[in-house]
Structure 1
């Protein structure tokens, strides 16, 4: 039987085919969280997934993640939550989470699986891609269509358009490239994730040590103050901490400062560190090597302080001050 609607013929076969396509064209986002709160990049990943125009499901996995699931249930754009709670997921080890994602894929047949381009996403999704025998597309900065993605290469000096013919697209997204979706306005249904017997004899969770600070988290901060080799020592970073406190900013560092042992590596901004795009980025004593620029050049306003007028950082800075940082920064703190 067929019906004519608006000059188009819709057969039962056509309807079934359309329904099948709808089932295939769906997106799974693997939520990142700390057990109590959703990591902000998850909302950036939801925003990226919305560009695909598919139904969005979010996987919340952990030892105890009921509070996180409740928070995500109101996220704008999320239609369904899949929740998996088990002690085996303690520490969010990719060896434990991958079998769960593969089982969910078997049941729901997602066309796209996304996560943030963080240490969590970068360790998990390539493993999932390998098990599914498809390519992993990393650090995406734009989504043009179901199968076309944009990412940077050569430390951000070139933009690559990737077109994938794989049946399942595995993608990590750069948080700074997508505005965060709203944390409210949604009403997702919640269901238990598919059951899977996880046998993980390859790795075990031991412990973690987290640095605590009242300052904003580096990758989500609206203002960032970063120091480089020009700071000369870790003790001198106290100047930047004081400036950051005046501005309400997070504190970062160049790879040179991290390699020199001035600050811990979780403060590193750059291609091999964290990618940031705050409203204000203050680079103090940073020369502006390509590796560092790749991690911060998308900042809205860049301020550079360096005594070398030929420093490459001035080529990307909106405002530049050629001065001794040990004189300029204290003056800034005093005036603020």
Structure 2
């Protein structure tokens, strides 16, 4: 049975602490902690902000007690208290925000109820670790957690394989722990099926904390690196390089410009899509198909589903006919 709501409104503020150092917390995060009656969090996170907590009710929980933290927060908010439920990094990235909303929804909560909920974002590990090693996220990237405590391994493996094949820069969260030692090896196996052994990798442990450690490696040598639960592993894409101790992923300016002069390559124009962007690619695709290239061959060449190639060609033909009819009517 759902407990009755309090006579006076309570609040749950889900606070992302960032990497841990107070100077890297947002002003709103610090203010939310200052406003709160009660602070709830994993004991290690509580220690990170201990100097901000005098006079507060502080509830410490263990690593695997995430739902206990949520229930404590909801109970106190129902009593009319202002509760700060804290997470390191960003509270919505592998943090407490999702579990809190799930629990509230199951209890019948809506945004119109007396319990207010605010999410205060913080810097996630992918951003803080990237800043320490250079600029590895300048192009498309994704984050994948290797923790199988709550996610089936085949799901994780499919995501790893898809990200590796699609040439994303990938941040691996929760790569290894005392009990989970094989997951990082399996991730490496999947990546090596699509990436060069010399693909650059950065391993950052305890970013912006007292025991910060940064190590560069390659996919081939990844398992020799010092990797633990407090590490984030950044795997580069096919363009990523390491130079002078900095890991960089080019944005792609060299596809359009002479990097030395800034002049556009022949056939390219500043402010316009690449000649091999969507419109240019569609025109080339239609021409190749008209010249006898099968849909299957085109799909194989571009590593795209045949159904997508077929639908794209059909749309291109329809658009071309519509344009022709318009011109004829004019």
**TM class, shorter-chain normalised?**
0.3 to 0.5
More strand by share: 1
| Structure label with greater radius of gyration | 2
**TM-score under structure 1 length normalisation:** 0.35
More helix by share: 2
